[in-house]
Amino acid sequence: MTSQREAAAILALCITARNAIEAVEREAKAVVDCSYGEEKVCGVVQFTVDGETRNIVVGSTGRYLRRPSEPFTILDEAAFVDWVAQRYPTEVVSVVRPAFMKSLAEQAEKTGGVLCDAEGVVCDAVKLNDQVVSVRTYVKRTREALAALDQIRDVPIAELASRIKKLAAEDEN
């Protein structure tokens, strides 16, 4: 096999592994179920150091809200651009600058999701999009946490998937 073909085969395996990991990740996120704001779940691995077994926090998963990449749904592009141009002429160059859109979204959040200027004039040309709920996992980078993760790093993906399915089934009961 040529090196290019071997590299292509390795890339195919990487994509297959990534897809399998993403499936396990989706199922694990469903089990973690951080349903409430500011809720956080710590991941713990049992790790033996000098004959003493301890639980080491290796990461945490929490729920947070973030603004979608498009903060508004533009209902009437021309009316919106005109509204912004009348009030903030330096912010319009045939379209409203994306950075200023974020500023307007923050302003609209303060007025109950309605975009209005300082005098209270409402812009009916846009609708503030709902925030997106995301779950984020952080891996601790401490020496202990990384050593504990090393112990489980070689666990086959199929075994992880099986364990997550078992956790999900236990959670349903």
Output 86 or 154, whichever has higher pLDDT: 86
Residue 85's φ and ψ, nearest 5 degrees, are: -60, -40
Span 89-94, mean pLDDT? 86
What is the rounded average pLDDT for all residues in the chain? 81
Residue 75's φ and ψ, nearest 5 degrees, are: -85, -35
Half-sphere exposure of 43 (CA within 13 A, CB side): 19
Output 161 or 86, whichever has higher pLDDT: 86
52-56, 101-105, 108-112: range with lowest mean pLDDT: 52-56
Q: Using one digit for the tens of pLDDT, what is the confidence trace for 110-163?
A: 999 999 999 999 999 999 998 887 777 777 778 877 777 777 667 777 777 777
Output 147 or 4, whichever has higher pLDDT: 147
- Residue 108's pLDDT is 94
Span 87-113, mean pLDDT? 89
Model pTM greater than 0.95?
A: no
* Sign of the dihedral through C-alpha 47, 53, 58, 63: positive
pLDDT at 84 over 90: yes
